């Protein structure tokens, strides 16, 4: 008895979740009772600032938020987003036509591919890059052409090396700076080149600015939308997850080109009834309230980065410091794949890191380390990692 369930072709096209196997391995080591230091995920470890939590509590008690909010989001939140972008990045936006409220930026990054791509179309994606870019492309039945991010080019794609055939068929390009997983930041001149390229080839740019608040050594990450002509060719995705430690709250937004924003709002009309109003009011409190918490958070991540790098450099590890995000991108010892070295660190050092191959073919040869533990634990993790790296390097000689 019972039906035979046949998954749709859309579901069959979805990429394998590489990191599901990593989580299973980590859980096995944790359950063994080992002193595990888990730096393999991108989950902020610090709490949401108190004033934001209190704003949620107060708003949740207001019966007005116990009903459906407007499908496209509360006007109060849109106004707060527009004002925040003007203050932080000098970008002027129309709150009704150039802002889409998202159930986290991740949802929007999948939706935009569904909005713009058909079978046979090409999407340009960074390699290595955030794997969820691939998901929307797969759901749309489109083709992915990768743009290698190489150390010798500052982990920026070389637009001149995109094949002519891909340029002609491409309808969408994903970018992400500060970059996950490499930690690189993009200069203004790079975005200017991208805008010219996109305009020439009629390609929509989707810039994932999830780590836009986190720049190191006095560096303020550049907003794609802050560059002349950006709104004519693309959109920028932002999230409160990293800036305000609100990963579980699922508040994001897409900003920019009004035609793209209209399509994102349209597809979301069929998926959602907008975020819980109290969560939206908490987001307003985050954007309009004191920003000391953001500056303190960035300073915390920089101290953590420096602690990790100090220990690894002392052990002779060849490193290029990450410029932003909360990730370090570390080369693996010669003779190892990224997955093999990550497995070795987990089994011998009880340190969990993400193998670079999980972010694309050009991620091979690296592991991603999250700066998501106190400085003392990061120093301990670095010492354990360095010990394993030195042992395997000595054995290879």
Which candidate, 147, 228, 158, 190, places its Cα nearest to that of 323?
190
Residue pair 210/241 in contact by the 8 Å Cβ criterion: yes
Burial of 192 (0-12, 13-18, 19+ CB in 10 A): middle
Residue pair 37/377 in contact by the 8 Å Cβ criterion: yes
Angle ∠(265,267,273) on CA atoms, nearest 5: 70
Pairing status of strand 327-331 against strand 366-370: antiparallel
CATH 3.40.640.10 residue ranges of the chain are 50-288
Does an H or E element contain 306, and which?
helix 292-314
Residue pair 251/275 in contact by the 8 Å Cβ criterion: yes
pLDDT (tens, 9 = 90+) of the chain, 397 residues, equals 789 998 898 888 988 877 777 788 888 888 888 899 999 988 899 999 999 999 999 999 999 999 999 999 999 999 999 999 999 999 999 999 999 999 999 999 999 999 999 999 999 999 999 999 999 999 999 999 999 999 999 999 999 999 999 999 999 999 999 999 999 999 999 999 999 999 999 999 999 999 999 999 999 999 999 999 999 999 999 999 999 999 999 999 999 999 999 999 999 999 988 899 999 999 999 999 999 999 999 999 999 999 999 999 998 888 888 999 999 999 999 889 999 999 999 999 999 999 999 999 999 999 999 999 999 999 999 999 999 988 876 665 5
From the options 3.40.50.450, 2.60.40.420, 3.40.50.720, 3.40.640.10, give the CATH code of 50-288: 3.40.640.10
Is 9-48+292-396 CATH 3.40.50.620? no
CATH 3.90.1150.10 residue ranges of the chain are 9-48+292-396
Quote the tokens at residue 171.
């309808």
- Its pTM stands at 0.95
pLDDT of residue 390: 83
Quote the tokens at residue 82.
């527009």
Does an H or E element contain 288, and which?
helix 277-288
């Amino acid at each position: 008895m019972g039906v035979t369930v046949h998954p749709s072709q859309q579901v069959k096209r979805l990429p394998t979740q590489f990191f599901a196997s990593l989580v299973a391995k980590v859980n096995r080591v944790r359950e063994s009772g080992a002193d595990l230091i888990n730096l393999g995920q991108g989950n902020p470890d610090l709490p949401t600032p108190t004033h934001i939590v209190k704003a949620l509590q107060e708003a949740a008690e207001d019966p007005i938020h116990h009903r459906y909010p407007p499908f496209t989001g509360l006007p109060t939140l849109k106004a707060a987003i527009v004002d925040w972008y003007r203050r932080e990045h000098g970008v002027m936006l129309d709150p009704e036509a150039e802002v889409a409220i998202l159930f986290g930026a991740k949802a929007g990054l999948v939706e935009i591919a569904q909005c713009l791509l058909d079978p046979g179309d090409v999407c340009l994606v960074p390699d290595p890059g955030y794997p969820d870019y691939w998901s929307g492309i797969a759901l749309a039945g489109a083709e992915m052409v990768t743009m290698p991010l190489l150390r010798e080019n500052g982990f920026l794609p070389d637009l001149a090396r995109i094949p002519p055939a891909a340029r002609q068929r491409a309808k969408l390009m994903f970018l992400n700076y500060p970059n996950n997983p490499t930690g690189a930041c993009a200069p203004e001149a790079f975005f200017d080149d991208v805008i010219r390229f996109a305009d020439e080839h009629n390609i929509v740019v989707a810039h994932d600015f999830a780590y836009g608040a986190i720049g190191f050594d006095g560096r303020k990450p550049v907003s794609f939308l802050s560059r002349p002509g950006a709104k004519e060719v693309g959109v920028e995705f932002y999230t409160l997850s990293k800036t305000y430690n609100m990963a579980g709250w699922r508040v994001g937004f897409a900003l920019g080109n009004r035609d793209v924003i209209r399509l994102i709002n349209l597809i979301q009309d069929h998926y959602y009834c907008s975020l819980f109003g109290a969560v939206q009011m908490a987001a307003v409190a985050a954007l309009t309230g004191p920003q000391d918490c953001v500056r303190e958070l960035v300073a915390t991540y920089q101290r953590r980065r420096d602690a990790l790098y100090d220990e690894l450099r002392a052990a002779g590890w060849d490193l290029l410091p990450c410029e932003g995000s909360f990730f370090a991108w570390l080369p693996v010892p010669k003779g190892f794949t990224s997955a093999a070295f990550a497995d070795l660190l987990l089994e011998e050092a009880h340190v969990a890191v993400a193998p670079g191959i999980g972010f694309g073919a050009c991620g091979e040869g690296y592991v991603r380390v999250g700066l998501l533990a106190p400085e003392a634990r990061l120093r301990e993790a670095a010492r354990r990692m360095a010990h394993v790296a030195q042992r395997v390097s000595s054995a290879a000689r």
